[in-house]
Amino acid sequence: MASKLSFKRTDSIAESMPDALRQSRYQMKRCFQRYVSKGKRLLKNQQLIEELEKSLDDKVEKEKLVEGFLGYIICSTQEAVVLPPYVAFAVRMNPGIWEYVKVHSDDLSVEGITPSEYLKFKETLYDENWAKDDNSLEIDFGALDLSTPHLTLPSSIGNGLQFVSKFMSSKLGDKPETSMKPLLDYLLSLNYRGEKLMVNDTIDTVNKLQTALLLAEVFVSGLPRYTPFPKFEQRFQEWGLEKGWGDTAERCKDTLNCLSEVLQAPDPINMEKFFSRVPSIFNIVVFSIHGYFGQEKVLGLPDTGGQVVYILDQVRALEEELLQRIKQQGLNVTPKILVLTRLIPDAKGTKCNVELEPVENTKHSNILRVPFKTEDGKDLRQWVSRFDIYPYLERYAQDSCAKILDILEGKPDLIIGNYTDGNLVASLMSSKLGVTQGTIAHALEKTKYEDSDVKWRDLDQKYHFSCQFTADMIAMNTSDFIITSTYQEIAGSKEKPGQYEHHYAFTMPGLCRYATGINVFDPKFNIAAPGADQSIYFPFTQKQKRLTDLHPQIEELLYSKQDTGEHIGYLADRNKPIIFSMARLDKVKNITGLVEWYGQNKKLRDLVNLVVVAGLLDASQSKDREEIEEINKMHNLIDKYQLKGQIRWIKAQTDRVRNGELYRCIADTKGAFVQPALYEAFGLTVIEAMNCGLTTFATNQGGPAEIIVDGVSGFHINPMNGRETSNKIADFFQKCKEDPSYWNKVSTAGLQRIYECYTWKIYATKVLNMGSTYGFWKTLNKEERVAKQRYLQMFYNLQFRNLAKTVPRVYERPPQAPAGA
Ligand code: UDP
Ligand code: LCN
């Protein structure tokens, strides 16, 4: 409605709101009286709109106001703090753009306030003394970003790499002889185990470099295209040039020319191209700490889901891309990739107790497992929930750093953290070793749990969010670049803030106020969406590739009549299509929600069967708090809605290859995949299903909203509205009954969407380009970076360390006797 209005970014709300209030003074006074009538409180967007509408009786007036500028402001307000006589608004006009104002409810005067002032208002609702204390801990990471350029357009958020290339082009273009010096220094620092690459020390000025490039380019232009580099290596050295320019005369010529162009008049395209060719990355370490991290029998265990799948596929893609680049650089170097994770002695039949394990389908990549230590220095034996692992991380960082240096015989060139724990350890290590660091969140817990920042105390015993959010802030601010899967992960949508955006300004009363946590306009943000392994997840229509050997097992899994330890329930009518879901049995995955929607919708039950793969079937076998609650809920729902005969609940399935065939078998029934999560950061199952040609319905809360184009390549569902969702699914199957070609149409459009946007090849190219470009970018503005690092180190030391000490270490069991002993 009101959001149709156009609004210039230059119009500040503090400036334009008073006039608008004046024009509807009578009505707005009534509205503000409603806001303050119940005393101190926090009002969310929906409540603000409802109260506004309730305060207006006249229909025409109501429409005018809601459609007008004031309506627009209120619709754009994410939340408001009511502290009579004031109402403080946090207004988000566009992704990433926030403004804070306070309005006096009696005289309707408006005043712009800073994020910090707004947060103090909010804190008053939860901890008044702390809010009023002038010396409460306030952290402002933005205060240290004095010369870091920021993007300004919401539509450009997530395109950090292009922005950095553009900015460097203009900055370095100023006076090439002096401004290009950092680039020359960077080139001079390139080496592989001490052996110089690209240029040697005889080239000590930009002029000399330009001359050498010119001479070499003329020389290689006279050679046959495919002349191998060793044939003219010696000539290159005479000009001060070393290997790394290319494997053939043609490739060298192209790289030399690209750098000459950059030095003459830098432009972003050549800049990006040059950094994609620089031989700066050979060894990479990826951190994924909490476990279970393995290649077999781990998926679906608590905490172990898409992150593991993502990293294994990521490593394969990165290795392939590295090998290709190294070959084209004309180097004879073997890259190494290590995935650092926890060694868990009580490995429960997985390989999580094995120290070094090669990554399947790679030549040079390994999983390295390092144990957590108990206080008395022994290896901690059991799995520990990701929420409880903070006391172990510092020691872990030290132990794993020593191992890495040993195995790689030196420092890595790039480290990539995953999730809070991996990102924190990566931050400690990058600060220590001075290595370029990327971070990946997979999920930021603060966004998953509403008001988990202001209500942190209520949740801390269970989740230790005080540690988690502090660690997230440290990692986001330490890392050189941030890899995200979707735009929405960073900056949400027009209506909803993104996961990272939620960390712009927030407060944890009694603990710490973040006047600036992280700014989504920072050019460190980049989007590189993952893919799904297309050798496993291929379309159900590719008959010759189908794994028919597995069909008897899948037949048993879906249709056998007896309950076993593996599944519960059965499907009485085999002729119906199947709606299918597969996820860890966490609350937020909302598998129980799907079962309930199904149970309540007779039409849907008549049209389709339901199959879910999730968690364990027996609560007594689980150690995970949330999983236990969800298991019990599943049993209750099956009884309550008498679902046996229409539902099959299968326990977590850890065999990816068979799962691929399972998706295809569901597609054979002309069924659908349903991803009902209350919130999903990205949603690998969504792209797996779509890769198999299975029509997909997925939550509109999070990444899937961006993966699927609603009504074209699949469907969005609203997990907050079960009735609407189950009707939408039922309507689809009704339509398919009437017109079977409709199902095929959606399935084909889903596949097309995947091939255009979600592949690992695109991902690996982007990430390696980030590694080398940000590796140079961080050498600019060194002093400012050092200052920020000092601030971060102090914060880690004084805040995080103390918080981590408050988390109880798990009860450390002695080794268990082997079964039967
Ligand atoms: N998965 C699985 N078996 C299960 C549950 C999940 O193999 O019982 C796999 C699933 O195929 C996907 C990953 O685990 O590859 C889950 O990733 P997603 O992004 O959907 O969710 P996450 O668990 O990471 O939150
Ligand atoms: C974690 C999640 O919760 C999912 O949404 C992602 O798909 C997965 O990690 C991989 O990034």
The CA radius of gyration of the chain, in Å to the nearest whole number, is: 29
* Residue that wins the pLDDT comparison between 407 and 624: 407
For residue 224, the tally of other CB atoms under 10 A from its CB is 9
Is the Cβ atom of 624 under 6 angstroms away from ligand 2?
A: no
Is the Cβ atom of 533 under 6 angstroms away from ligand 1?
A: no
Residue found by looking up tokens 């000539």 in the block: 235
Half-sphere exposure of 817 (CA within 13 A, CB side): 3
Question: Which pLDDT value is given to residue 1?
Answer: 39
- Statement: residue 10 has pLDDT above 80: no
Is the Cβ atom of 681 under 6 angstroms away from ligand 2?
A: yes
pLDDT band at 709 (very low <50, low <70, confident <90, very high): very high
Question: Which pLDDT value is given to residue 819?
Answer: 36
- Statement: residue 820 has pLDDT above 60: no
Most ligand 1 atoms within 8 A of CB, residue of 297, 301, 309 to mutate: 309
Question: Which ligand lies nearest to the CA atom of residue 653 in the structure?
Answer: 1
Question: Which pLDDT value is given to residue 58?
Answer: 81
Is the Cβ atom of 445 under 6 angstroms away from ligand 1?
A: no
On average, the pLDDT of the chain sits at 95
Most ligand 2 atoms within 8 A of CB, residue of 293, 684, 707, 708 to mutate: 684
Is the Cβ atom of 384 under 6 angstroms away from ligand 1?
A: no
Question: Which pLDDT value is given to residue 818?
Answer: 40
- Statement: residue 7 has pLDDT above 50: no
Question: Which ligand lies nearest to the CA atom of residue 660 in the structure?
Answer: 1
Tell me: the pLDDT tens digits for 24-33? 898 899 999 9
Is the Cβ atom of 442 under 6 angstroms away from ligand 2?
A: yes
Residue found by looking up tokens 């990554």 in the block: 359
What is the position in ligand 1's atom list of the atom closest to the CA of 682? 19
Q: At what angle do helices 268-277 and 306-328 cross, to 10 degrees?
A: 90
Question: Which ligand lies nearest to the CA atom of residue 584 in the structure?
Answer: 1
Question: Which pLDDT value is given to residue 65?
Answer: 85
Tell me: the pLDDT tens digits for 499-535? 999 999 999 999 999 999 999 999 999 999 999 999 9
Grouping H, G, I as helix, E, B as strand and the rest as coil, residue 79 is: strand
- Statement: residue 175 has pLDDT above 90: no
Burial class (CB in 10 A: 0-12, 13-18, 19+), 73: buried
- For ligand 1, the distance from its centroid to the CA atom of residue 685, given in whole angstroms, is 6
Q: H helices of 265-392, where?
A: 268-277, 306-328
Question: Which pLDDT value is given to residue 740?
Answer: 94
CB 454, CB 122: distance < 8 Å: yes
Half-sphere exposure of 243 (CA within 13 A, CB side): 20
Percent of residues, the chain, with pLDDT higher than 70: 97
- For ligand 2, the distance from its centroid to the CA atom of residue 199, given in whole angstroms, is 42
Tell me: the pLDDT tens digits for 115-141? 999 999 999 999 999 999 999 999 999
pLDDT band at 2 (very low <50, low <70, confident <90, very high): very low
pLDDT band at 665 (very low <50, low <70, confident <90, very high): very high
Q: CA distances (Å), 512 to each of 104, 108, 117, 393, in order?
A: 28, 31, 14, 21
Tell me: the pLDDT tens digits for 374-415? 999 999 999 999 999 999 999 999 999 999 999 999 999 999
Tell me: the pLDDT tens digits for 606-622? 999 999 999 999 999 99
Most ligand 1 atoms within 8 A of CB, residue of 582, 594, 653, 655 to mutate: 582
Question: Which ligand lies nearest to the CA atom of residue 651 in the structure?
Answer: 1
What is the position in ligand 2's atom list of the atom closest to the CA of 310? 10
Question: Which pLDDT value is given to residue 134?
Answer: 97
Question: Which pLDDT value is given to residue 812?
Answer: 61
Q: State the pTM of this model.
A: 0.94
- Statement: residue 813 has pLDDT above 60: no
Is the Cβ atom of 307 under 6 angstroms away from ligand 2?
A: yes
CA 771, 776, 777, 779 torsion-angle sign: positive
- Tell me what the mean pLDDT of segment 442-453 comes to: 93
Question: Which pLDDT value is given to residue 817?
Answer: 44
- Statement: residue 791 has pLDDT above 90: yes
Is the Cβ atom of 616 under 6 angstroms away from ligand 1?
A: no
**Amino acid (one-letter) located at 251:** R
